[in-house]
Amino acid sequence: MASITATLGTAASKVSLFGVALSVPQKRVAIVVLTIAMVLAIWTGLVLAFRIPPYLVPKPTAVFHAFVDNWRVLATQTSFTLSAAGIGLLVSTVLAVVLATTFVMNRHIADAALPVVITFRSMPVTAIAPIILLMLGRGLATSTVVVAIVSFFPLLVNLTRGLSIPDRNTQELLHVYGASRWQELRYMRIPFALPFLFTGMRVAGANAILGAMLSEWITGSRGLGNLILESGEMRETELLWAAVLTSVVVGLCVFWLTSAGERRVLHWRR
């Protein structure tokens, strides 16, 4: 019986792709590789078919050569963008956790603070960024504050929702056992809100990259955003496309890392 179970488990872990048996991780890698190859083929075909000039859309080979020739610059600028995005996302996550917990534990504070939060969120970042620049100057501090602003609201909304709608049966059970409000928060609301936290982090992660690049465009500080702006002004189209594709890859990596962290932390849900 054990051998039959093991055989079935091995068979279930294998999937077929074009008639080839692959494990689930191998299938995911194969799908990513095939998707990239298809995108590159379509890109090249469109450039050749419509005879698009290189100063508008270069060929993938030209972009690849620009990436190889300027990989040190791209790596350096990407590190600045990731630093601002990471620190800002960390700050916004801590603030969102504190405020969401406070709102759930005290409805009076929530009723008083939510209009202020919504009003602050409604202000366009492009209007706030110059003010932040005047106060903090050019550099990492301004980018971090901009990232924290744009990534804070999705985290707060998702966390507040997750903490506010726990499992009814678990809530009644803790009430029967006489659990305090903090015990209820620790053993019921926080575990139930973790999926909502990771959902908010997936959205906030993408916002963090965009916020960091937006701050670099406005302030002129180092990073991928400034590199894209400068290469566009200098008509270095291949470097421009290499920087844009690098930002896309960084955004996808943030999404995948967040999803992997969710699977790692919330393995008990399965």
pLDDT recorded at residue 240 = 94
In a domain? residue 4: no
Based on the fold, state whether residues 170 and 44 are members of the same structural domain: no
Divide the 270 residues of the chain into consecutive groups of 10 and give the mean pLDDT of each group. Answer: 45 53 70 88 92 90 93 94 94 94 88 83 81 86 92 92 79 79 84 90 91 88 91 91 93 89 78
The answer to whether 81 and 225 have CB atoms below 8 angstroms apart is yes
CATH code, 99: 1.10.3720.10
Name the nearest CA neighbour of 85 among 28, 22, 167, 145.
Answer: 145
Based on the fold, state whether residues 47 and 78 are members of the same structural domain: no
**Using alpha carbons only, what angle is made at residue 125 by residues 122 and 126, rounded to the nearest 5 degrees?**
130
pLDDT recorded at residue 9 = 47
In a domain? residue 235: yes
pLDDT recorded at residue 260 = 87
Q: In angstroms, rounded to a whole number, what is the distance separating the alpha carbons of residues 147 and 92?
A: 8
pTM: 0.83
* Sign of the torsion angle spanned by Cα atoms 192, 106, 158, 133: negative
In a domain? residue 17: no
Based on the fold, state whether residues 192 and 91 are members of the same structural domain: yes
Based on the fold, state whether residues 67 and 38 are members of the same structural domain: no
The answer to whether 67 and 243 have CB atoms below 8 angstroms apart is no
pLDDT recorded at residue 16 = 56
In a domain? residue 83: yes
Q: In angstroms, rounded to a whole number, what is the distance separating the alpha carbons of residues 11 and 210?
A: 42
Based on the fold, state whether residues 211 and 111 are members of the same structural domain: yes
Based on the fold, state whether residues 86 and 219 are members of the same structural domain: yes
Based on the fold, state whether residues 31 and 108 are members of the same structural domain: no
pLDDT recorded at residue 19 = 56
Question: What pLDDT digit, counting tens, does each position of 131-189 carry?
Answer: 888 888 888 899 999 999 999 999 999 999 988 876 777 777 777 888 888 888 888 88
Neighbours of 92 (CB within 10 A): 27
- Give me the domain span that covers residue 29: 23-52
Total domains in the chain come to 2
